[in-house]
Chains A and B, each alone.
Chain A
């Protein structure tokens, strides 16, 4: 303990910390618990425990696993998040090697450019990409009368939009790990007779793998929960957050949204836990 203070101060300090964590947990609890309330509205009073909002297959209590639109949203979210995390981990790994290993002009400036997308509001990223893609698509259609469908709002644009700032996150995570790499390990492998490709495959990438996996999971989660950027780029294949928002605005809150929330919270918590475990078990140099 760094500061020795009087016990009264310490007790009230502890109380504040405890209250803070109650504040943190309260809305999550509210969102989760009402998934199990046997009522048509997510509010008190408590009418008994039920799993209907997950598994029931008839209206009015249509459970989330039988709700076609929610399931489709889940599916699209999954496809988008997978695409974004694969793409952003790949580019993030390239960026890490670029900024840790290579020397080139204006490196500091370009590093700031790499960090920048993180501080651009997501709404702006969304509309700027929408504008550019639409302008290009319109231009191509007018001059070549060619319809570039992937430049219209839809899954490709959503992936690109999320990728544009999630890559910064993955790059920072992988850069940090690569900086810790003892380069004499590569030289040792080279010295023992390995080719450059073999060194990369057997030494460097296995060392980076925990960071790449963690970055991939983070990218997956951020993509899954993203709303602001996605909102402008979404076409007919709406991911889960957009579907939920639509439902919330049009139908109002229903316990099936609580069920989805509960499902997502458990899923994210598990994934986050895995990413922490992967990084903790990583061998130190």
Chain B
């Protein structure tokens, strides 16, 4: 028993070794009741192993996992009140929708009447009241998704684990399901733990996101914190698009450093992450494309930006509201900057000479 019962799930210094490979290395976190928590990391970072330990399919080498304050180490998966939506959903093809949802209730020995009421109730809540007698193969991708969630939610779990369930869907449906999942989580008011390598899924849906790399949690925070205030170069590079340079510190000035990149560009950046660099230290510098303004050099004047670089437009990446230009600077590197393209004559065109400007505060420098 623990005093922190307001947490649905706690992991305390969880480790998992496979031979000499440390799949999960000293991970600790807690998830408050009713929140949407994502674990975001590249494939092979250990997030699936972590989830399988929470579900009980793997046993941690050391550490403790607590659900509603009670340790579940040694509890087999079928006795844990943690339900899981699998990557390929794992709906049972030999049963229809009703039987799929009733499966867990039958295992728990519920009476026929209770099962019928609960199944219809949960179908109502996922707004698919009429599909009970359909076969799984007759459902659309999005419907399967919701049935897989309903099959777990009907058992009223303490925590629902979701293992990249949107991976197999096409783009449009994936966008729609992101919103739907968020709404479902609100509606059921249950803790969702969502595993993904797709940052936009994690950022859009989550209350909190943990960034995982090589078995460790690098940073836990709200999506905004991760995006605007990453604690490490890995997070800055992994979350969101960014321009990245490797360089050396030439001068220190309060919270700002002057950096000379490998190709010879000089820029001013704010110090982020742990520790203060000294002149001569190697650093990685990040600027997001939306913080860079690109103007035709003729119109640029002499603004007050911390960083100004002249270059030439190499190509235009048109994508509606998210359009971007690739600018080749004097050192020959390509820099990405967001632009607004209205379709009018004043739009930037390839080979235009442009001036890029951005502030030091939005330029993040991490010791590397």
Chain A residues within an 8 Å CB radius of B93: 207, 283-285
Nearest first, the 7 closest Cβ-Cβ pairs linking A and B are A283-B93, A192-B104, A188-B90, A193-B107, A184-B90, A194-B107, A184-B86
- Bound complex: CA of A193 vs CA of B110, how far in Å? 12
In the assembled complex, B152 has its CB within 8 A of some CB on chain A = yes
In the assembled complex, A189 has its CB within 8 A of some CB on chain B = yes
Q: Is the CB of B90 within 8 A of A198?
A: no
Q: How many residues of chain B get a CB closer than 8 Å to chain A's CBs?
A: 26
Q: Is the CB of A192 within 8 A of B155?
A: yes
Contact with B along A170-199 (1 / 0, CB 8 A): 000000000000101101111111110010
Q: Is the CB of A189 within 8 A of B55?
A: no
Query: Which B210-246 residues sit within 8 Å CB-CB of chain A?
Result: none
In the assembled complex, B21 has its CB within 8 A of some CB on chain A = no
In the complex, the chain B residue whose C-beta lies closest to that of A206 is B94
Candidates B77, B87, B91, B155; contact of A190 at CB < 8 Å: B77
Contact with A along B71-92 (1 / 0, CB 8 A): 0000001110011101110111
Chain A residues within an 8 Å CB radius of B83: 191-192
* A141 CB, nearest partner CB in chain B, Å: 52
* B57 CB, nearest partner CB in chain A, Å: 6
* A77 CB, nearest partner CB in chain B, Å: 34
* B185 CB, nearest partner CB in chain A, Å: 19
Candidates B92, B107, B151; contact of A198 at CB < 8 Å: B107
Q: Is the CB of A283 within 8 A of B107?
A: no
* B337 CB, nearest partner CB in chain A, Å: 44
Give the interface size class of chain A.
20 to 34
Q: Is the CB of A194 within 8 A of B103?
A: yes
Q: Is the CB of B90 within 8 A of A193?
A: no
In the complex, the chain B residue whose C-beta lies closest to that of A195 is B78
Candidates B92, B137, B152; contact of A189 at CB < 8 Å: B92
Q: Is the CB of A203 within 8 A of B78?
A: no
In the assembled complex, B108 has its CB within 8 A of some CB on chain A = yes
A191-B87 contact given A198-B107, A283-B94, A283-B137, CB 8 Å threshold: no
Chain B residues within an 8 Å CB radius of A195: 78, 107
* B51 CB, nearest partner CB in chain A, Å: 11
Candidates A187, A190, A203; contact of B92 at CB < 8 Å: A203
Chain A residues within an 8 Å CB radius of B86: 184, 187-188
In the complex, the chain B residue whose C-beta lies closest to that of A210 is B94
Candidates A187, A194, A206; contact of B90 at CB < 8 Å: A187
- Bound complex: CA of A207 vs CA of B92, how far in Å? 9
* A127 CB, nearest partner CB in chain B, Å: 45
* A271 CB, nearest partner CB in chain B, Å: 23
* B116 CB, nearest partner CB in chain A, Å: 18
In the complex, the chain A residue whose C-beta lies closest to that of B52 is A187
Q: Is the CB of A193 within 8 A of B108?
A: yes
Q: Is the CB of B94 within 8 A of A193?
A: no
Chain A residues within an 8 Å CB radius of B107: 192-195, 198
- Bound complex: CA of A182 vs CA of B88, how far in Å? 9
- Bound complex: CA of A188 vs CA of B151, how far in Å? 10
Candidates B77, B91, B136, B151; contact of A187 at CB < 8 Å: B77
Chain A residues within an 8 Å CB radius of B79: 193
Choose among B77, B91, B94, B152 the residue with the greatest number of A CB atoms under 10 Å from its CB: B94
- Bound complex: CA of A206 vs CA of B137, how far in Å? 16
* B154 CB, nearest partner CB in chain A, Å: 9
Chain A residues within an 8 Å CB radius of B92: 185, 188-189, 203
* A225 CB, nearest partner CB in chain B, Å: 32
Q: Is the CB of A187 within 8 A of B57?
A: yes
Q: Is the CB of A182 within 8 A of B90?
A: yes
- Bound complex: CA of A283 vs CA of B94, how far in Å? 6
11 additional A-B pairs beyond A182-B90, A187-B57, beta carbons within 8 Å, are A184-B86, A184-B88, A187-B55, A187-B77, A188-B92, A192-B83, A193-B79, A193-B107, A194-B107, A203-B94, A206-B94
Choose among A188, A192, A198, A206 the residue with the greatest number of B CB atoms under 10 Å from its CB: A192
- Bound complex: CA of A206 vs CA of B93, how far in Å? 10
Contact with B along A148-177 (1 / 0, CB 8 A): 000000000000000000000000000000
Chain B residues within an 8 Å CB radius of A184: 86-88, 90
Q: Is the CB of B88 within 8 A of A191?
A: no
In the complex, the chain A residue whose C-beta lies closest to that of B83 is A191
Q: Is the CB of A193 within 8 A of B88?
A: no
* B118 CB, nearest partner CB in chain A, Å: 13
Q: Is the CB of A190 within 8 A of B78?
A: yes
- Bound complex: CA of A182 vs CA of B104, how far in Å? 19
- Bound complex: CA of A185 vs CA of B103, how far in Å? 12
- Bound complex: CA of A187 vs CA of B90, how far in Å? 9
- Bound complex: CA of A279 vs CA of B151, how far in Å? 28
- Bound complex: CA of A191 vs CA of B54, how far in Å? 11
Contact with B along A244-285 (1 / 0, CB 8 A): 000000000000000000000000000000000000000111
Q: Is the CB of B84 within 8 A of A188?
A: yes
- Bound complex: CA of A202 vs CA of B102, how far in Å? 13
- Bound complex: CA of A198 vs CA of B78, how far in Å? 11
In the complex, the chain A residue whose C-beta lies closest to that of B57 is A187
Chain A residues within an 8 Å CB radius of B88: 182, 184
